[in-house]
Amino acid sequence: MSHRTLTSWITTSLRDNADLVALRVRRRGDWVTTTYRELDEISARLATAVLELGLTPGDRVAIHAGNSPEWTMVDIACLRAGLVTVPIYTTSTPSQIAHVLRDSGARVVVCGTEELLARTQEALATDDDLDTHMPCVLLPGDRHADDTAGAEGASVRTLAQILDTVPGDAETLTRLREEFAAKEEEVDPDTPVTIIYTSGTTGAPKGVVLTQRAYSRELYVIDTLFGLPRGERNMSFLPLSHAYERGWTYCALASGMENCSVTDPKTVAAAMLDIRPATFVSVPRLYEKVYAGAHQLAGEGVKRRLFDWALRVGADVQRRRREGRPVPRTLAARHALADRLVLHNVRDVVGGEKYVMAAGGAPLRQEVEEFFLAAGLPIYQGYGLTETAPLVSCNAPGAVKSGTAGRPVPGTEVRISDETGEILVRGDNVTPGYYNRPEETAAVIDEEGWFHTGDVGHLDADGYLLITDRIKDLIVTMQGKNIAPGPIESALTADPLVEAAVVIGDGRPYLTALIQPSFEELEHRAREKGWASDSTEELLARGEVEQYYDDLIARVGRDSARYERIQKFRLLSEPLTMDAGEITPTLKVRRGPVERRHADLITSMYQ
C-alpha cells in the first residue's frame, strides 16, 4: 500500500492535482469552485488558525453542519492539524448535541447555519457539564460573500474571521507548506481521525473511533477495485456526518475528482441532471424511488408491455456482457431499439451513464438492482458499518453477484459465527473501540480482534456475502417461526406511498405492520382520484386508501410462506419523529419506541 495514512493520501492529491477543481457547489444559481491548490492553501491556513485558538493535536473539534465544501475544508484542516473531528447530525436535538459534546470533550464547535448555531448554544446553556462560552465557528452560506453577519458574542467567530488570522501571502503559504509536509511524515497510522457517534437503534450513542490506518485501508481498497476517474465529478448528498459519505468523499478527493456538494437533499433529483456525476453513493431509497417512478409512468396496456419488453432485452444483453458471452446480432438490434425507446430514459433521470453508482446502508432489493442493470447502470452494492470505516464487502467490476453485498474487500476478513450466524469482521479498517467505553468495546471486539457486527448473514459458495437482518430485530413468532422483518419492510417502503413500515410479531401468533404513509404522495394521489377528505385521519379512513395498502401488502407477501405474510396492518396518521425517539438521525426506525408509543394500535390487531 503506497500510503500508510489518510493524511498522506489527501495531501499528496492536493499537490498532484493542484490545477484541478476539488470542490464545487451551486449557490444563488452560480457554480462556486475551489481548486486543489486553493484547498491546500485554505486548509493549511485554517489548520494553523485553529491551533492558535489554544488547541493541541488530539483535541476534538465538533462539526455541526450540513453538506458543503466548507465542511470538507474544516475536516481536512483538522486532519492536517492532528485534531479529531466529531460530526453532529443536523437533525440532532439540543440534548443529543449536549451528549456528543460532553462525551467527546469537544473544545470547539463548527456550525453550518445560524439555526444550528442557536441549537448548539441552547445545548451548551442547558447542560451544567458544558462550557457556555465554548468557542463556536460559523460557516458561511457563500465564502465569496460577506459572511460576518449573524456572528455575535465573544465565543462566536466566522470562518472568514478565523482564516484572516493567518496571512495568505506567498511567503506564509510556502512556510506553512513546508511545516505541514514535515509533520505529515511523522503521522502515526494509529492516530484517531474522527469520533463518529452511532445513531444506534438502542441506548445512548457511542463514539466510534476511526484511525488514519482505517481510512487509509478504505482508500486503498476503492483505488484497487474501482480506480476512480481523475477530473470527473462525484456527487455528495448524504450526510458527511455519516461514515458512508465521509469515506467516499475522501476516496473522491484522493483520486483527484471534483466533489460536488448537494446542500439540500430534497434537490437530489434536479442535482443529478445539473451535475451529471460520474460517481455517487446512495442508500437504497433513492434507487427505489426511481424504480417505482419508472414503473408508475409505464402505466398499463401497450405502453407497459413495451416497457417490460425493453427491460427483458436490456437484462439479457447486460447478463451476457457481464458473463463474457457474445451478444448475437439480432439481440443487439433489439437492444438498440429498446434503448432508444425506453432504456435511455432511465439513464437520463440519473444524469447519464455512470462510472460508479454504489448502494449501502441497507439491503437493495434484487429487482431494483436488476432494473438499473437492464438500463446499463450497474449498482455496486456493499456492506459496512461505522465501526469498519465503513466498508466490509462490496461488488466491484468483474466481481458482481446480484442480490449480494459482494465479497469481503482486500485486507478484510469475514467469518460467520457457527452458533448464531452473526457476521464477524477483522482487519485494519476495524475501529480500535468506542471512545472512553472499554466495557462496550470488549463486548463487540473479542480477544482475537474479531468485531461482532450484530448482523446475521452467510457467505455463499463463491464467497459473496448475503445479509439477513440485525440479530436483535429477528422475529420469533408464538409458533417458533424465525422471520427477518427487514426484507418485508424494504419491500413495503419501495412503494411511493409508504414512508416507513414496522413489522410486528415477536412472541405473537402472526405478523402485523404499522405503516406510515408518504403523506405528500398520498394526498397527490387522492387529488388525482377525487378522494375527498378534510383531514389526514379522514383520508386514511377512506375505503379506497385502505384497499390500496391492503393490495400492497398482498403483493409483498404473495410469494412468501403464510407465516411470513402480514395478516393485519394499521396506518399511522402522524409521522415517526426523532423528537419522540422513533427514528435515528440516519432515519432508521427504532422499534422499541415505536411499539411503546403505538401499543394500543398493536394490541388492536391481536384482539
Residues 247-290: tens digit of each pLDDT: 999 999 999 999 999 999 889 999 999 999 999 999 888 998 89
Average pLDDT over residues 376-393: 97
CB 217 within 8 A of CB 427: yes
Contact of 493 with 553, CB cutoff 8 Å: no
DSSP string, 377-413: --EEEEEE-GGGSSEEEE-BTTB--TTS--EEPTTEE
Which of 7-16, 137-146, 485-494 has the lowest average pLDDT? 137-146
Contact in structure between 465 and 260 (CB atoms under 8 Å): no
Q: Nearest to residue 243, comparing CAs of 195, 171, 182?
A: 195
- The predicted pLDDT at position 144 comes to 39
Is residue 14 left, alpha or beta, with left meaning phi > 0 and alpha meaning psi from -120 to 50?
alpha
pTM: 0.88
pLDDT score at 146: 43
pLDDT digits over 410-437, tens only? 999 999 999 999 999 999 999 999 999 9
What are 533-574's pLDDT values in tens digits? Answer: 999 999 999 999 999 999 999 999 999 999 999 999 999 999
In our burial notation (b when 16+ CB lie closer than 10 A, e otherwise), range 531-552 reads beeeebeebbeeeebeebbeeb
Work out the burial of residue 101: count CB atoms within 10 Å of its CB; fewer than 13 is exposed, 13-18 middle, 19 or more buried. Answer: buried
Q: Quick one: CA dihedral 244, 250, 255, 257, positive or negative?
A: positive
pLDDT value at position 148? 43
Q: State the DSSP H helix or E strand holding residue 111, giving kind and residue range, or none if neither.
A: strand 108-111
Mean pLDDT calculated for residue range 476-504: 91
Query: Could you count the other beta carbons within 10 Å of the beta carbon of residue 388?
Result: 27
Q: What is the mean pLDDT of the chain?
A: 93
Q: What's the pLDDT score for residue 342? A: 97
**Which strands make up the sheet holding 258-261, listed edge to edge?**
30-35, 21-27, 258-261, 233-236, 279-282, 356-359, 379-384, 391-394, 407-408
Structural domains in the chain, CATH included, are: 6-187+226-282 (3.40.50.12780), 283-377 (no CATH), 474-604 (3.30.300.30)
Helical pair 243-254 and 6-16, crossing angle rounded to 10 deg:
40
